[in-house]
A and B are shown apart, each in its own frame.
Chain A
Amino acid sequence: MTTKKTLAFLLMDAPYESARTTTAFRLVDAAIRRGHDVSVFCYEGAVALSFAKQAPHPNAVHGRDLAQEDHPNPKDWIAALAAQADRSGAKLAWINCGLCVDERGVGEVVSGVGRGSPVDFWKSAEAADNSLVIPTKG
């Protein structure tokens, strides 16, 4: 049985822009499947990961309709991770940087996502067993 630990992650990338988003979600998934508690702080573009108005689309290039394309929206991945956390006996906290949300106009977020500031990430890192910043590149 793995000893439960707490990990804090900071993400920066907007959805659909970088492979870092997928890797970050894989890391959170791996951590919560092992029963570890995870906090995720979304900074800058990453605050759009939880935007409630994301919508899937069909793919005419591949001849796939909406259902067939089954295009992922990260907001659904967040919801799925939250459900996995419940099944695994882990806690998942997902917090957006509030000013980053405001300047991007993505304040409508899916259920369970909170709002905070860099101080909240610092406090979560202080409380956690370890932390990882996944920066964007530009």
Chain B
Amino acid sequence: MAGYLLIESRDPLESRDVASHFYDLAAGLARRGEPVTLFLVQNGVFPARRRAQAAALDAVARAGVEVLADDFSLRERGISSDRLDPRVTAAPLDVVIDRLVEGRKALWH
């Protein structure tokens, strides 16, 4: 299985579509047994702040999606490592390149 890389650049509070479409898609793909990485970048990292939007990431986390957040975007928004939701891992943007060269099908939202 090629697996998927879903890059979410938007805040779920900005658009209902983020959770109802993109997070939901990530969970749905993972439930089919595919390796799925949800990479949060830009304003998409806001749910990574602990207690911010805990419910938004619930379905994604339960489905076994790897949730990463761009470390630059986190720092840019003052979300320090001690304030990170435990279900999210800070990661360099290089991981996107790694996943692309692995052959993951890549979608940007």
Closest-by-CB residue of B relative to A132 is B106
**Quick one: which of B43, B70, B100 contacts A130, CB cutoff 8 A?**
B100
The answer, yes or no, to whether B88 is at the interface (CB within 8 Å) is: no
Known: A26-B72, A30-B93. A130 touches B101 (CB 8 A): yes
Closest-by-CB residue of B relative to A2 is B101
**Quick one: which of A7, A30, A133 contacts B108, CB cutoff 8 A?**
A133
**Quick one: which of B10, B97, B104 contacts A27, CB cutoff 8 A?**
B97
**Quick one: which of B70, B101, B108 contacts A129, CB cutoff 8 A?**
B101
Closest-by-CB residue of B relative to A34 is B97
Most buried by B among A20, A26, A130, A135: A130
- A26 close to B101 (CB less than 8 A): no
B108 cross-chain contacts in A, Cβ below 8 A = 132-135
- A20 close to B42 (CB less than 8 A): yes
Which residues of A come within 8 Å of B, CB atoms?
Answer: 2-3, 5, 7, 19-20, 23, 26-27, 30-31, 34, 36, 129-135, 137
